[in-house]
Amino acid sequence: MTEIQADKLAELQAVRAPAIGGRLARWRMALGNAWHELRKSRTASIGAVMLVLLFGACIATPWITTYDPIKQNYRERLQPPSEKHLLGTDRMGRDIYTRLLYGGRRLVAIALLAVTFGLSVGIPYGVLSGYFGGKVDTVAMRFIDGLLAFPGLLFYLLVVTLAREWKIEGIANDAVLVFALGFAFMPEVARLSRGTVLAEKQKEYVEASRAVGDGSLSIALRQILPNIISPLIVNATVRLGYVILIVAALSFLGLGTPPPTPDWGSDLAAARDYMETAPLIAAFPGLAICYTVLAFNLFGDGLRDILDPRLAER
């Protein structure tokens, strides 16, 4: 090996070492950057803190409460908040605090899965339709227009009723709900990603990739996709709040998972009978819904401000 080659190799390894060893450090840096960016918008920071609390509670549920959310205890029904029952008990004597936690866990999980489902179908659909354009695009988008023309709530009602007809219960019922909510989100995602791809496609880096000989799929998914993800994240965040509201509304109307599964919507509905004697029972699930939807919306709105390039310089 000549001296020059040895030199080169040494230099190469010098660069390579931190590239691998520094993966953890890089993650930490990315997290630090994210927080720094978040602080640009007060709305986003408040939303982020609220969301961290929410997700923390969802994950830690089994450790921060010891009660069973379903087991009834008629000796302790309709109790006001106390040290034993932080938020009191409901008409079946179940701890409201516990039910809220378990209900929230389920609700957030459904919302996350539904939105993920919507994104994972909608993004590739929209990106490919936008990238290939022409007749493919026309046909694909007319189909999406058709879907959008169908009212969302009607679709949920249809699916829920069918599920009930066919006696789909328990976890399968939740899965049906996830599918319905995700499917209804899909057209919006597809349109949004198609629109941004159309704008992005005009940029010269796409042409440069083609000139280099890169394949269409690779350009669409590897080169363009990372550039259109920001508006989609904002959209998905706001959508999460909306989905939670829909699920709660469905079960409030008695179309969600039947009792005794803990559910903010059905708990709220059940509490209506006790509005005059024990209004707090209704207040807590209501507040929980408010808090969650607000958290997602604040975070989403703040995120939009941060990611909007027009605001980047100010």
Q: Which of 213, 276, 277, 310 binds other proteins (CB under 8 A)?
A: 213
- 23 counts as binding other proteins under rule CB under 8 A: no
Q: Which stretch binds other proteins (CB under 8 A): 123-131, 222-230, 252-260, 264-272?
A: 222-230
Q: How many residues bind other proteins (CB under 8 A)?
A: 23
Residue number with CB closer to other proteins (40 or 91): 40
Q: Which of 1, 10, 15, 149 binds other proteins (CB under 8 A)?
A: 15
Q: What is the CA 49 to chain-centroid distance, rounded?
A: 16
Contact mark string toward other proteins, 155..194, x via CB under 8 A = ----------------------------------------
- 207 counts as binding other proteins under rule CB under 8 A: yes
- Look at residues 133, 123, 142 and name the one whose alpha carbon lies nearest to residue 202: 133
- Look at residues 286, 294, 296 and name the one whose alpha carbon lies nearest to residue 96: 286
Q: Which of 25, 208, 217, 275 binds other proteins (CB under 8 A)?
A: 208
Q: Which stretch binds other proteins (CB under 8 A): 154-162, 223-231, 271-279, 284-292?
A: 223-231
- 16 counts as binding other proteins under rule CB under 8 A: yes
In this structure, what token pair is assigned to residue 156? 């949920």
d(CA 60, CA 81): 22
Q: Which stretch binds other proteins (CB under 8 A): 64-72, 100-108, 173-181, 221-229?
A: 221-229
Q: DSSP class of residue 309?
A: G
Q: Which residues of 294-308 are buried (b: 16+ CB within 10 A; e: fewer)?
A: ebbbbbbbbbbebbe
Q: DSSP class of residue 151?
A: -
122, 181, 236, 247, 304 from 110: Cα distances, Å: 18, 9, 14, 9, 24
CA angle 10, 14, 17 (to 5 degrees): 130
Residues with Cβ within 8 Å of residue 120, at least 6 apart in sequence: none
Q: Which stretch binds other proteins (CB under 8 A): 82-90, 167-175, 207-215, 295-303?
A: 207-215
Please state the closest distance from residue 23 (CB atom) to other proteins, in A: 12
Phi and psi at 89, nearest 5°, equal: -125, 160
Please state the closest distance from residue 283 (CB atom) to other proteins, in A: 41
Please state the closest distance from residue 65 (CB atom) to other proteins, in A: 43
Q: Which of 42, 71, 203, 272 binds other proteins (CB under 8 A)?
A: 203
Q: DSSP class of residue 221?
A: I
- 10 counts as binding other proteins under rule CB under 8 A: no
Q: Which stretch binds other proteins (CB under 8 A): 4-12, 68-76, 83-91, 133-141?
A: 4-12
- 313 counts as binding other proteins under rule CB under 8 A: yes
Interacting positions 224-253 with other proteins (CB under 8 A): 226-227
- Torsion from C-alpha of 27, 32, 34, 38, nearest 10 degrees: 170
Q: Which of 45, 73, 116, 223 binds other proteins (CB under 8 A)?
A: 223
- Torsion from C-alpha of 82, 84, 88, 89, nearest 10 degrees: -150
Binding site for other proteins (CB under 8 A): 8, 11-12, 15-16, 19, 40, 203-205, 207-214, 223, 226-227, 313-314
